[in-house]
Amino acid sequence: MKKLKITALLAVLAFSPFYANVFSGEASSIVKMVADAIKWKSESIDVGNIPQGKPKIIRFEFTNTSSKPIIIQNVAPSCGCTTADYTKTPIQPGKKGFVEASYNAAAAGPFMKTVNVTTSESKTPKTLSFKGTVTS
């Protein structure tokens, strides 16, 4: 039994570096491909001071840097105080698209909100954020 445990341990140690090298290269190239598909002009926007009671529209723009059309599948604001709009048609390679968040500036004070964007290129949502201060 002791020999079996030692053999199993040696096998794990022998193959660990091999698998680590194989998987780490593949994972980073997949992440790089997804990251290269969309180039955001900005992923975080500071809107500064905005007046209370007037909705503020924040526009996030991006370029399709892939070789195939990209479709925005879902845009989910972080709270009910924010609504969203976005490019509804496929964004062709080299073309631009947008995601807009409209923030209801009802309560005075600082705020930070997010919008999660899911595209045909990645099922993991991209989080865009905006912040500022509502002044009365």
Q: How far is CA 11 from CA 15, 19, 27, 79, 94, in A?
A: 6, 12, 24, 51, 49
Report residue 67: phi and psi, to 5°. -100, 10
Map out the domains of the chain as residue ranges: 40-134
The position carrying tokens 């053999």 is: 7
Percent over 90 (pLDDT), the chain: 70
Average pLDDT over residues 106-125: 93
Q: Against a cut of 0.75, is the pTM above it? A: no
Asked whether residue 93 carries a pLDDT value surpassing 60, the answer given is yes
- SS3 label, residue 108: coil
